[in-house]
């Protein structure tokens, strides 16, 4: 087997460098009236200051904006403003498909770990961003590849990749390999493969560790493992991780298609079914996602504010 290397170079925060009036795209939570209202107000505010404003593709156009016809157009703007929750933010990242357009997240949802700016702060936050008073924080992304032969598919993830048992099986056995080295086999409901950004999401709920965004690591956390010796692992990013479903899953219903015994979910969205002996390859991408961040609201602040980290009350 060919040994593959992944990206490992540590990236650092860098200052914003906007000049003039860059074009701006808005991605908003479609089913929320408050997001639509705020999108209209923000559009007018930006147009009054000379900016061209676009509605991102695959969305109902915001009045006063030009609707983009494709994701290719989205990659040409200077800034994307997300109005919604973490799910809306992840949708915007998917639209970019790895292109380094910075995103400012405004929280209209519940937790808002990726969208720390409050709705009542949106105008000040956008103004500060355009005046280069915010920071750009690099966030590692993962690429997952699965399928057989010519039918292999690839997609990028900011948070996590979840391999989970299908509805017709009770337990799956997954083998894990790091580069050329065999790691172990795990019997479980599945595995979570999370980036540092995703370590605060499903990984944390499943008992995995928190990783600072600057850490060069990938967390692999079993979901309801069959053995107490199956623990989360922090893996290096300079090696490709390969996962494989081993043998016929336990509790499999009769006449179940062995090509559909488990499924892959990427950043909360179904990616595809996988079968016995299928390989799922995960590696860090060479290009990071760039998140606009208030210097006063760093990772540790968000841990305390959003997750009540260290709170004894």
Residues with catalytic roles: 86
7, 284 contact by CB (below 8 A):
yes
Instruction: Quote the CA–CA distance of 264 and 165 in Å, as a whole number.
Output: 9
Q: Which residues of 225-252 are buried (b: 16+ CB within 10 A; e: fewer)?
A: beeeebebbbbebbbbbbbbbeeebeeb
CB hemisphere CA count around 153 (13 angstroms): 11
Q: Nearest Cα to 267, choosing from 115, 165, 157, 140?
A: 157
Count of other CB atoms within 10 angstroms of residue 77: 21
Contact (CB, 8 A) for 21 and 35: no
Other beta carbons less than 10 A from residue 213's beta carbon: 20
How far apart CA 84 and CA 105 sit, in angstroms, is 8
Distance CA 183, CA 176 (A): 5
- Give the count of beta carbons closer than 10 Å to the beta carbon of residue 270: 10
Q: Report CA-CA distances (Å) from 74 to 32, 71, 146, 186, 297.
A: 22, 5, 27, 41, 27
Terminal-residue alpha carbon distance, the chain: 53
Residue 190, helix vs strand vs coil: strand
Polymer length in residues for the chain: 313
* CA atoms of 142 and 285, how far apart (whole Å): 6
């Amino acid at each position: 087997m060919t040994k593959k290397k992944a990206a490992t170079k540590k990236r650092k925060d860098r200052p914003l460098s906007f000049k003039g009036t860059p074009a701006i795209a808005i991605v908003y939570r479609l089913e929320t009236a408050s997001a639509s209202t705020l999108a209209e107000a923000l559009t007018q505010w930006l147009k009054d200051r000379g900016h061209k404003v676009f509605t991102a593709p695959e969305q109902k156009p915001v009045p006063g904006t030009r609707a983009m016809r494709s994701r290719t157009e989205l990659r040409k703007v200077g800034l994307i403003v997300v109005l919604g929750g973490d799910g809306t933010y992840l949708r915007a990242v998917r639209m970019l498909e790895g292109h380094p357009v910075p995103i400012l997240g405004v929280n209209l949802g519940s937790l808002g770990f990726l969208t720390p700016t409050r709705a009542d702060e949106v105008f000040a936050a956008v103004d500060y961003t355009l005046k280069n008073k915010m920071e750009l924080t690099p966030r590692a992304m993962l690429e997952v590849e699965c399928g057989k032969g010519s039918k292999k598919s690839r997609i990028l993830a900011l948070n996590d990749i979840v391999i989970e048992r299908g509805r017709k099986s009770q337990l799956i056995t997954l083998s894990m390999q790091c580069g050329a080295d065999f790691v172990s086999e795990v019997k479980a409901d599945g595995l979570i493969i999370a980036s540092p950004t995703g370590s605060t999401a499903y990984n944390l709920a499943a008992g995995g560790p928190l990783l600072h965004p600057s850490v060069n690591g990938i967390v692999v956390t079993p979901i309801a493992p069959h053995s107490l010796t199956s623990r989360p692992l922090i893996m290096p990013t300079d090696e490709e991780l390969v996962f494989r479903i081993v043998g016929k899953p336990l509790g499999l219903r009769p006449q179940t298609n062995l090509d559909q015994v488990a499924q892959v979910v990427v950043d909360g969205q179904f990616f595809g079914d996988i079968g016995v002996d299928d390989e799922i390859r995960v590696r860090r991408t060479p290009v990071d996602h760039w998140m606009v961040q208030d210097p006063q609201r760093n990772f540790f602040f968000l841990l305390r504010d959003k997750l009540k980290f260290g709170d004894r009350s």
